[in-house]
Structures are given as C-alpha cells and as structure tokens.
Amino acid sequence: MKNATSIITMIFIPIFFLILIVGLVNFSYNPTAIIGVEEKERRLEEPGEIKEVIITITKSGIEPNNIEESSTGVFYKIVNNDDTVHRLVTEFGDIDTGDLQPGDTFTKNFNNYDEYILIDDYNPNFILKITVGLSAK
C-alpha cells in the first residue's frame, strides 16, 4: 500500500503543479482582459468622455433623422415622445428597438464605422439614418 501511495504522489502532484503553473501563466499573460478592465475603469473615472445623442420620435417624425458622427463610442438614445407605438428596425433586422410604447427609450452604441438606416415598422415614412465614421475618412 505504501508503494501505491508513493506512485500516486509521484504522478499526481507534479501534474497538479503543472496545471496550476500553466493556469497562472495563461492568466497573467492575458493582457487584453486586464487592459479591458483598466480601460473601462478609466472611462468611468473621466466624466464627459462618453457622448450621448438624444433622438426623439414625435407625431411629425424623428428628430434628428440624419446623424453623422466621426467616431464610435457614442450612445444613441431613442425616445418615443409620441402617443403611439413605434419600432425602428434595420433592413436585415440586426438592430431592432422592439416596440417602443409612448415614453419608452432604446439606447444603442454603434461600434462599427458604417451607415445605419432604421425604418419604423408602424410608419415607414419615419426613417433614421446614422453614419458613424464614414464622413471623417
């Protein structure tokens, strides 16, 4: 029995330490996770860096309805100030506000340089165009 314990000790303890060391090396070598946390904390500490654009839906339409921003990182807040339901959706449905009841809001950060056209499912004449970064290139 003593030999079996010695064999188990000789095999499993080195394997355990190897797994532990490899796990620590991988964790400490992952600068992306650490930088991501530090970046997020830095952004939260610096007031005024995050920009928010308010977009309002009323009986007469969407205002503003044509927005151009030179960079990503802007939050777009859509507010339904109408007395009826609205739902803004892109052509392929990749962005969908869902049904916005009167007084409801929808906030989105567009992370890619692109042109986004959202059309109201309930009133196709209500069109919102957001261009991110393309005019600055």
Q: Are residues 40 and 94 in the same domain?
A: no
Give every CB contact of residue 13 below 8 A, 6+ residues apart in sequence. Answer: none
Q: Are residues 20 and 61 in the same domain?
A: no
Assigned domain for 137 exists = no
Task: Give dist(CA 52, CA 36) in Å, integer.
Answer: 21
pLDDT less than 50: residues of the chain: 25-48, 136-137
Task: Give dist(CA 8, CA 107) in Å, integer.
Answer: 57
Assigned domain for 96 exists = yes
Assigned domain for 73 exists = yes
By residue range, what is the domain housing residue 69?
51-132
| pTM reported for the whole predicted model | 0.62
Q: Are residues 60 and 109 in the same domain?
A: yes
β-pairing verdict for 51-58 and 61-63: antiparallel
Structure confidence at residue 22 (pLDDT):
57
Q: How many domains does the chain have?
A: 2
Structure confidence at residue 14 (pLDDT):
72
Query: b/e map of 97-119 (b: 16 or more CB within 10 Å)?
Result: beebeeebebebebeebeebebb
Structure confidence at residue 43 (pLDDT):
45
